[in-house]
C-alpha cells in the first residue's frame, strides 16, 4: 500500500472516530476528495517542478501516534526559548504536552485548536475564520484539512497587546517511528491588537518524520503581527509548511523564516491584501549543507491600492545542498500606488551546491513601483584575502563574510532571545566562535 492509499484508509478510521456530527465533517469530507483526486504534487506541476517529493512519500509513515510520550524540560530545553517569559503550546508526537506548555484565557486565548473546535463559546470564531483562506484546491493543504484535529488556537481581542511572545513547538520522538504529523493552526489578531509568535518543528529522533502543517492567520484592521519560524531539524525530518495570511487596512504582518536544517523543507507563504494601505514583510535566511533541500514559495496578492510588500531572502548553500526561491507578486488593476519589493541573494559555497530562483510579477495596474532582483555568486575572494592578511584564519574569515551577507535580515528581528538563538545557530553551522554574540 503506498502512502496515498494509507492516508485514504486512515481517513476512514479518523472520520469514524471524529466525524459523526462534528462541525467540520463536511469540510473534511470535501478536502479528502480533493486529495484523492490530486494525490501528492509531482514535478509535472510548475509550482513543484524543483521540489522532489518522490522519495519522501515512499516511506511507510504512521498517521496516528501509538503512544503518548512524556518529555522532561531538560531533554528539550535547547529548543525552547528560556531567557524570555512566553506562553507555550507544546506538542509531542502530535499530542498536547501540558507539562511543557503554558496557555491562557486571561485577556487573550492561547490554547488548543481541539478545544476551540468543541466548545460552544468559540463556535462563532471558528465558523467565521476556519478554512476561509487556506487554498482548498491545493492537495497538501486539503490533506491537512481532512485530518484537522489539533494545533494552536490563538485569538487576540480588539485593542489587546499580548505582552509575552507565544511559542508553538512540535516535537517528534523515536517512540512513534516514521510519524506523519498534520497540525493545524488558527490565529486571529483583531483590530488594533499586537502579538509575537515563534514556531518550531523539531525531531528528536533519527527516524524518518514528515510534518504537513497549515496555518491560517487573520490580521484585522491596524493589527500588528510579528512571526518567526525556526527550522533546524534532523536530516531525516521533512517539513511542508503552508501559511496563509489575510490582512485588513493599516495592518502590518511580518514573517521571518530561518531554514537551517532538515531533509526537505518547503515553505508556502501567502499574503492576501483585502483592503488598501497594508504592509507585508517577508524575510528569510537559508543556511544548509550536505544533501539538504529548502524551497521558499511566496505569494503577495495586492488586490487594493496604496499597499506595500517587502521580501528579502538570503541563501547560503554548501556541499550538495539545493535551494529554491519562487516569489510571486500579483497586482490587480484596482491596486494602484502599490509598492512591491522582492530580493533574493544567494551564495554557493561549493561547486555541487545549487539554487533555482524565479521571480514572478503579474502586474495589471499602471501606477505602481514594483522591483525584483536575484543574485547567485560566491564569497568575495578579495575580501577573503584581505581578512587573511590581517591574521584571520580562512575558516573564520569565510564565516564572518557569510554572516555579514545575512546580517541585514537579523537586524529586523525584534525579540532579542530569538536573535541570540539565530546567531548561535549560524555560528554553529559555520563552525566559528567569534563575533556572533548580540
β-strand pairing of 109-112 with 152-156:
antiparallel
pLDDT at 383 (0 to 100) = 77
H/E stretch holding 144 reads: helix 139-146
Domain ranges of the chain: 62-430
DSSP assignment letter at 161: B
CA distance 21 to 280: 39
On whether the CB atoms of residues 147 and 15 are closer than 8 A, the answer is: no
Cell of 201: 518543528
Q: Pairing between strand 224-231 and 252-259?
A: parallel
Nearest Cα residue to 265 out of 61, 51, 77: 51
| pLDDT on residue 1 | 67
- Which residues on adjacent β-strands are paired with residue 189? 156, 219
Calpha distance 419→194 (Å, rounded) = 20
CA angle 333, 336, 339 (to 5 degrees): 120
**How far is the C-alpha of 3 from the C-alpha of 59, rounded, in Å?**
7
pLDDT of residue 434: 54
Provide the pLDDT for residue 438.
Answer: 45
pLDDT tens, the chain, 438 aa long: 689 999 999 999 998 887 665 778 899 999 999 999 999 999 999 999 999 899 899 998 999 998 898 898 999 999 999 889 999 999 999 999 999 999 999 999 999 999 999 899 999 999 999 999 999 999 999 999 999 999 999 999 999 999 999 999 999 999 999 999 999 999 999 999 999 999 999 999 999 999 999 999 999 999 999 999 999 999 999 999 999 999 999 999 999 999 998 999 999 999 999 999 999 999 999 999 999 999 999 999 999 999 999 999 999 999 999 999 999 999 999 999 999 999 999 999 999 999 999 999 999 999 999 988 999 988 777 777 777 787 777 777 777 788 888 888 888 999 999 999 998 888 888 877 655 454
Amino acid at each position: 500500500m503506498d502512502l496515498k492509499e494509507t492516508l485514504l484508509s486512515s481517513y476512514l478510521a479518523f472520520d469514524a472516530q471524529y466525524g459523526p456530527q462534528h462541525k467540520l465533517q463536511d469540510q473534511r469530507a470535501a478536502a479528502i476528495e480533493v486529495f484523492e483526486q490530486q494525490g501528492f504534487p509531482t514535478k509535472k506541476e510548475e509550482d513543484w517542478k524543483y521540489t522532489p517529493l518522490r522519495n519522501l512519500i515512499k516511506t511507510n509513515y504512521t498517521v496516528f501516534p501509538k503512544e503518548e510520550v512524556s518529555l522532561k524540560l531538560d531533554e528539550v530545553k535547547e529548543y525552547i526559548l528560556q531567557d524570555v517569559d512566553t506562553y507555550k503550546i507544546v506538542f509531542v508526537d502530535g499530542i498536547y504536552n501540558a507539562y511543557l506548555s503554558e496557555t491562557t484565557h486571561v485577556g487573550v486565548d492561547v490554547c488548543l485548536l481541539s478545544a476551540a473546535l468543541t466548545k460552544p463559546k468559540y463556535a462563532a470564531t471558528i465558523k467565521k475564520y476556519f478554512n476561509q483562506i487556506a487554498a482548498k484546491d491545493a492537495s497538501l493543504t486539503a490533506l491537512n484539512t481532512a485530518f484537522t484535529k489539533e494545533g494552536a488556537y490563538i485569538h487576540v481581542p480588539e485593542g489587546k497587546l499580548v505582552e509575552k511572545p507565544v511559542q508553538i513547538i512540535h516535537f517528534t520522538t523515536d517512540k512513534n517511528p516514521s510519524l506523519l504529523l498534520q497540525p493545524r493552526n488558527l490565529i486571529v489578531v483583531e483590530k488594533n491588537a499586537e502579538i509575537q509568535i515563534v514556531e518550531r518543528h523539531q525531531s528528536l529522533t533519527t527516524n524518518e518524520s514528515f510534518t504537513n502543517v497549515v496555518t491560517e492567520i487573520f490580521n484585522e484592521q491596524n493589527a500588528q503581527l510579528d512571526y518567526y519560524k525556526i527550522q533546524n531539524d534532523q536530516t531525516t525530518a521533512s517539513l511542508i509548511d503552508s501559511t496563509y495570511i489575510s490582512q485588513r487596512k493599516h495592518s502590518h504582518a511580518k514573517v521571518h523564516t530561518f531554514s537551517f536544517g532538515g531533509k526537505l523543507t518547503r515553505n508556502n507563504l501567502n499574503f492576501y491584501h483585502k483592503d488598501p494601505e497594508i504592509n507585508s514583510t517577508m524575510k528569510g535566511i537559508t543556511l544548509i549543507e550536505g544533501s539538504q533541500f529548502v524551497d521558499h514559495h511566496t505569494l503577495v496578492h495586492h488586490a487594493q491600492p496604496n499597499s506595500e510588500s517587502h521580501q528579502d531572502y538570503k541563501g547560503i548553500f554548501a556541499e550538495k545542498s539545493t535551494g529554491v526561491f519562487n516569489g510571486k507578486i500579483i497586482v490587480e488593476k484596482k491596486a494602484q500606488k502599490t509598492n512591491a519589493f522582492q530580493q533574493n541573494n544567494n551564495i554557493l559555497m561549493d561547486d555541487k551546491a545549487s539554487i533555482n530562483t524565479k521571480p514572478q510579477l503579474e502586474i495589471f495596474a499602471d501606477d505602481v513601483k514594483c522591483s525584483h532582483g536575484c543574485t547567485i555568486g560566491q564569497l568575495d575572494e578579495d575580501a577573503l584575502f584581505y581578512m587573511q592578511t590581517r591574521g584571520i584564519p580562512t575558516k573564520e574569515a569565510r564565516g564572518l563574510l557569510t554572516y555579514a551577507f545575512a546580517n541585514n535580515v537579523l537586524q529586523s528581528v525584534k525579540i532579542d532571545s530569538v536573535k541570540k538563538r539565530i546567531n548561535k545557530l549560524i555560528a554553529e553551522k559555520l563552525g566559528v566562535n567569534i563575533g556572533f554574540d548580540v
